[in-house]
């Protein structure tokens, strides 16, 4: 395993991940849901979904081409959907949690279906220097995407155990770097540190928490970017901010939240607080706008986090899928989801 660590990237053994009886654990105890509550949650998700958890009009997407990406300036950032973000740093491309599947599911005939197509196909993506993975859930680790990216990707950076999954799928072991919390590795002069998150893992009925989950710190000279992966709110954000902040950009989970699972996903108020804990400058909310994974309206995460950011004078950007955001010339982006809902309203009025 081609790991690289240094004392600066390891806080202490108490801060490393904890694994007992083959399962990783969060540092803060996370309440396990009982069978009855789990059954009730599933029942509500299947039979009591509100109609507005999916958009009724097309979600706008700005198409990307390989030529445009290659010509783009460094420090360009593109949301491709959900938690998939393409970054251009040092004339190379880096991508987080690449999910291009039609459904975030173990099968493609059932499960949460995409609201929109990716702005660019896997085949059209330029060569990728590294894929950065946060954990192994289906809305973050896409089997077919990983296989299609294998030949054009130099490295896969993963939390412990996730890399073993990739190797089982046929990814060359020399391309895989697996890290524990607070361990780091360098690729083309950029430092990547796997930092804690509060979540869980598993792709089947019997592999729960057998692999680690993580957030990621990216350090490119004076530029610092944070990728949250999935997480409930916890004091780890403050620790990360103290050790590696301030961050020029935080890519923060803002969606698929619910009062029924408060320990593993953040409400928007908590997302904003985590951004502040991290000493973030610009906040880009992710984990929304692509899949229906909760009971809230599909546009609610945008509305709530935007209102909260304005209230707290936090710089926030909400680009369309495929729209460029550049760290050297940051811009807020538009409230594009309002146009989608306006289109739905106008269509209903015309029918009426």
**Per-residue confidence at 290, pLDDT binned at 50, 70, 90?**
very high
Name the least confident of 98-112, 240-254, 276-290, 335-349.
335-349
d(CA 88, CA 74): 5
Domains annotated for the chain, with CATH where assigned, are 50-351 (3.60.15.10)
Q: For residue 84, give Cα distances in angstroms to 99, 119, 125, 285.
A: 6, 11, 13, 12
Classify burial at 306, counting beta carbons within 10 Å of its beta carbon; exposed 0-12, middle 13-18, buried 19 or more.
buried
Q: Which residue has the tokens 């395993």?
A: 1
- Is the per-residue pLDDT at 255 higher than 60? yes
DSSP alpha helix (H) spans, the chain: 35-47, 66-71, 143-149, 162-168, 236-244, 268-277, 300-311, 336-351
pTM attached to this predicted model: 0.93
**What is the structure's pLDDT at 37?**
67
Predicted confidence (pLDDT) at residue 29 exceeds the cutoff of 70 = yes
Taking only the tens place, the pLDDT of each residue in 270-289 is 999 999 999 999 999 999 99
- Say which residue, 112 or 39, is predicted with more confidence: 112
pLDDT band at residue 7, thresholds of 50, 70 and 90? Answer: very low
- Of 15, 23, 126, 131, nearest to 70 (Cα)? 126
Token pair 């991940």 in the structure block, residue: 17
Picking from 190, 154, 194, the residue whose alpha carbon sits closest to that of residue 171 is 154
pLDDT confidence bin for 3, thresholds 50/70/90 = very low
Q: How do residues 49-99 score in pLDDT, each as one tens digit?
A: 898 999 999 999 999 999 999 999 999 999 999 999 999 999 999 999 999
What percentage of the chain carries pLDDT values higher than 70?
A: 91
User: What is the predicted pLDDT for the residue at 352?
Assistant: 53
């Amino acid at each position: 395993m081609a790991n690289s660590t240094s004392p600066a990237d390891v806080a202490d053994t108490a801060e490393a991940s904890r694994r007992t009886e083959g399962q990783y654990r969060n540092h803060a105890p996370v309440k396990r849901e009982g069978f009855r509550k789990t059954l009730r949650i599933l029942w509500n998700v299947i039979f009591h979904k509100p109609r507005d958890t999916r958009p009724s009009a097309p979600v706008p997407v700005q198409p990307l081409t390989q030529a445009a990406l290659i010509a783009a300036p460094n420090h360009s950032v593109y949301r491709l959907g959900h938690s998939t973000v393409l970054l251009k740093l040092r004339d190379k491309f880096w991508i987080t949690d690449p999910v291009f599947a039609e459904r975030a599911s173990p099968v493609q005939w059932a499960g949460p279906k995409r609201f929109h197509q990716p702005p660019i196909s896997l085949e059209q993506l330029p060569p990728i220097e590294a894929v950065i993975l946060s954990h192994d859930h289906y809305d973050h680790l896409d089997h077919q995407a990983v296989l299609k990216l294998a030949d054009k990707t130099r490295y896969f950076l993963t939390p412990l155990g996730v890399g073993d999954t990739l190797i089982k799928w046929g990814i060359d072991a020399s391309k895989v770097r697996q890290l524990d919390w607070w361990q780091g590795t360098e690729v083309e002069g950029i430092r990547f540190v796997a930092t804690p998150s509060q979540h869980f893992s598993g792709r089947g009925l019997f592999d729960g928490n057998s692999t680690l989950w993580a957030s990621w710190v990216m350090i490119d000279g004076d530029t610092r970017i944070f990728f949250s992966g999935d997480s409930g709110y916890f004091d780890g954000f403050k620790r990360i901010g103290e050790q590696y902040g301030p961050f020029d950009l935080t890519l923060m989970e803002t969606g698929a939240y619910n009062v029924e699972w408060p320990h593993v996903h953040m409400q928007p108020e908590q997302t904003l607080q985590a951004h502040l804990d991290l000493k973030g400058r610009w906040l880009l909310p992710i984990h929304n706008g692509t899949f229906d994974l909760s009971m809230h309206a599909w546009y609610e995460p945008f509305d709530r986090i935007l209102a909260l950011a304005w209230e707290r004078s936090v710089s926030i950007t909400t680009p369309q899928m495929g729209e460029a955001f550049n760290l050297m010339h940051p811009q807020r982006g538009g409230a594009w989801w309002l146009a989608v809902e306006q289109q739905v309203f106008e269509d209903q009025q015309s029918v009426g």
